[in-house]
Structure 1
Amino acid sequence: MSVQILIDSTADLSREEAERLGVRIVPLTVHFGDRQFIDKYNITEEQFYDMLNTEAEMPTTTQVSPQSFLDVYAEYPNDEIVGIYIAQKLSGTYQSAVIAKEECGREDIYPIDSLTVSAGAALLVNEAVRMRDEGKSGKEIAEHITELTKHVEMLAVFNTMRYLVKGGRLSSTKGTLGNLLGIKPIIMVKDGVLEVIGKERGMKKALDFVVRHLRELPDFDSSKPIAYSHSFNPSDLELLKQELGEGQTLIMGSVVGTHAGPGALLVGYYRK
């Protein structure tokens, strides 16, 4: 019996990268008014950020439905299925995957709450792929990845807090700091929770904060890979890479970009 790995589109792997790794993307959707787009499938990152900058109405997002998961599960009747999904505190997608598992009554399906998103989730996906390619069972992969979720964190720097506040991912009180005098809050994503851990004036100082924070972590696991994602901010991304080193690099898709906005940077890493 082989193992099929499912991810949702907020892991921000491109369709080409997902195909190379042999994983299946189950996409969320983004809406501009009454227009609906399937993340990664019928809207490119370039198209999305162009619309984000020009459309008067803010986009909204929709989680994957239980029926969508049921349809995908049915495509793999003879495979074990390991699913790695956006933190359930950020989306109902994981819960939809669990509901679909219960409805189909299969014991060989293993949904996992990644407790993270984007670059953080990509780290877990890569490890799951490695284990699958080594011949591990779905149960073995799921148990190991579930344990690893406790060790993955992510730091984020946003150009503006407008999108996180508008999307309900951060309170308006906390978001206010990011819209004053060029202040860039630094946010930690841990256990599916977004927490403002610092604020700096200007992107350069915010990136310096991120580098300093990681270097001062007593249990930062330098033996494991790091991953980056950005919403079309390649110049600041290179500054971060010069300090922290190379890592898998992703472009935030339309769903993550709805909440991050343009110019954001994320770095995912492991703690021991």
Structure 2
Amino acid sequence: MNSIKIFADSTCDLSADLIKHYEIGIVPLYVTFESQSYRDGIELTPPELYAKVSETGKLPLTAAPSPSDFIQAFTPYVEQGQQIIYISLSSELSSTYQNAVIASKEFEQGRVEVFDSLNLSTGIGIQVLKAARAAEAGQNVQQILSLLAEIRPKVDTEFVIDSLDYLHKGGRCSGMQNVVASLLKIRPVIKVIDGKMTPAYKVRGSREKAFDQMVSNALSNKANMDRGTLFVTQTMAHEDAEKLRATLNETIQPQEVFITEAGCVICSHCGPKTIGIIYLKE
């Protein structure tokens, strides 16, 4: 057992295999339909979420774990003598980070460190994976926190949203914008900048055209890319993700490309068939 336990929340979107291999602790966020709350990834899966949205015509609300949720998750490991590093969903998008900081103050100073990823989905996950591998290699808490501070601004997170339906249901675009985008087959591309979801550009035409643009963007950074680990993160688009992985392997030749599935919190904002590429710049 490592003396350092790495924690993340359910929005990090790492695969079950990676979470199990590196013994990463996961604190779930909440997804609420009307009066019923579900723990993301435990009591509700993305296909179940999409079915409920289709049935009700409404998006769920999402909520951060409470400080008591974090205390309950951290306590067993602190009692075993481990130090904890928790890497959170961006503080610009959720109160998750703030609630974890509140919880950390209930423990002896230095036992629980909270790090703001300033990212989402596997933009968090790639930081969590780096931290877990550093802990496995025997690095101490300060070394891992320094590593995280170094790589955080180097994370490139870009994804294509297939339809504006979920953004419309969530009040993030008007009905007219949704209709026009559907007629013209406009697909928005989102990047994470300074911890926020930022519309980067729009691609008019097929999904393949949007994917080609994402790959082209990644290739433009090839000379300055850390080609150790890349992620293709998707929801209900596994076949497209496999094609993207094959293209990335052929054109960039990284050491590894992981395909992961976005969890319910991410899905509730972006909708099905969303797909993204995440990597680190050097």
Asked if these proteins are the same fold (TM beyond 0.5), I'd say yes
Q: Which amino acid aligns with 1:202?
A: S
1:42-191 correspondence to structure 2 within 5 Å: 42-77=43-78, 78-164=81-167, 166-167=169-170, 170=172, 172=174, 176=178, 178-191=181-194
**Judging changes above 3 Å, is the alpha-carbon distance between structure 1 residues 202 and 147 closer, same or farther for their aligned structure 2 residues?**
same
CA distance in 2, matches of 1:182, 1:160: 8
Check the 8 A contact 1:84/1:114 in 2, yes or no.
Answer: yes
Equivalent-residue separation in structure 1 for 2:268 and 2:133 (angstroms):
31
Contact (CA 8 Å) 1:162, 1:175: kept in 2 or not? no
Deviation at residue 186 of structure 1 after TM alignment? 1.2
Superimposed CA distance per residue, residues 74-102 of structure 1 (whole angstroms, 9 cap, x where no aligned partner):
22222110011111111110111111112
**What CA distance in whole angstroms lies between the structure 1 residues aligned with 2:156 and 2:45?**
27
CA shift for structure 1 position 12: 1.3
C-alpha separation in 2, matches of 1:228 and 1:121:
13
Cα distance in 1 for partners of 2:224, 2:84 equals 31
Partner SS for 2:77 = coil
Distance across 2 between alignment mates of 1:184 and 1:66: 38
Letter of the 2:26 partner, please give it.
Answer: I
Aligned length: 271
Which one of 238, 244, 257 corresponds to residue 247 of structure 1? 257
* Matches of 1:224 and 1:202, distance apart in 2: 30
Asked if residue 207 in structure 1 is aligned to residue 189 in structure 2, the reply is: no
Shift of 1:217: 2.6
TM-score for the superposition, normalised by structure 2 = 0.88
- Does structure 2 conserve the Cα–Cα contact (< 8 Å) formed by 1:69 and 1:100? yes
Q: Which residue of 2 aligns with 1:271?
A: 281
Contact persistence 2:242–2:259 (CA under 8 A):
no
For residues 156-213 of structure 1, what are the alpha-carbon distances to aligned partners after superposition, in whole Å with 9 as ceiling and x for unaligned?
0011233245446x56599657445210011111321222222112211111111111
Q: Work out whether residues 234 and 262 of structure 2, in 8 Å CA contact, stay in contact via their aligned partners in 1.
A: yes
Could you say which residue in structure 1 is the equivalent of 2:252?
Answer: none
**Separation in 2, partners of 1:137, 1:174:** 53
1:88-147 deviations in whole A, cap 9, x for unaligned?
A: 111110111111112435223211111111121111111111111111112211221122
Root mean square deviation, CA, Å: 2.3
Q: 1:158·1:260 contact (CA, 8 Å) conserved in 2? A: yes
Contact map agreement 1:152 1:190 (CA 8 A) in 2: no
Q: What SS is found at the alignment partner of 1:247? A: strand
- Report if the CA contact (8 A) 2:232-2:244 is conserved: no
Distance 1:134 1:178, change over 3 A: farther
SS in 2 for 1:127: helix
| Structure 2 partner of 1:23 | 24
What percent identity do the matched residue pairs reach? 29
1:261 equivalent to 2:280? Answer: no
Q: Which runs of 5+ in 1 are unaligned?
A: none
For residues 26-75 of structure 1, the C-alpha deviation after alignment (integer angstroms, 9 at most, x for no partner) is: 00010111121111111233322332333322111011111111222222
* Corresponding residue for residue 234 of structure 1: 238
The 1:271–1:219 alpha-carbon spacing in structure 2 relative to 1, beyond 3 Å, is: farther
TM-score (norm 1): 0.91
Counterpart CA distance in 2 for 1:220 and 1:199 is 25
